[in-house]
Amino acid sequence: MSENQMLTTNEVDAIALDLIKLHLPIVEVDELEFLDLLKNSLSLNISEKKRVIDAVPTLSQFQFDELTKVFVEERVKFRELAAEHPEDIKKLLKKQQEEWITLWEIYKNEQAKKAIEWQDEQKIDDIKKSLGL
């Protein structure tokens, strides 16, 4: 993995971790462990991972616990499969890494879109003020 891609991976991790930290205050989550499990899930695609991250603020303790349990079980199963099908697992790992970078691009695009929308709203407010509305 190149240094540039590693930097990008770290940026995705940082964005995802910030979003995972938005969980409800009454919910206890090891955010770094949850991030690692989600990021390295080989069964979830990019849109499913994004849905999990986006749902974090509304997830209950039970939902976090169950997701963590499923991710841990998945990891064990894929390790077992790696012994029998190492090339297939390598392909899945490569795909997962590429999708994680794509997830970063999706969040960056969303942030840029929100910034533009905010600027547009500010311009509308300025025009309303100048017209006395």
d(CA 121, CA 50): 27
In terms of Cα–Cα distance, which of 38, 100, 45 is closest to 63?
38
The model carries a pTM of: 0.75
CA distances to 55, 75, 96, 110, 132 from 124, in Å: 31, 50, 42, 21, 12
Q: Which two tokens stand for residue 42?
A: 């080989």
Q: pLDDT tens digits, residue range 20-70? A: 998 888 999 999 999 999 999 999 999 999 999 999 999 999 999 999 999
| pLDDT score at 131 | 84
| pLDDT score at 6 | 57
77 and 41 in contact (C-beta within 8 Å)?
no
Q: pLDDT tens digits, residue range 89-130? A: 999 999 998 999 888 888 888 888 888 888 888 888 888 888
Q: What's the distance, CA 40 to chain centroid?
A: 11
Q: Which two tokens stand for residue 56?
A: 């974090």
The pLDDT of 15-24, averaged and rounded, is 88
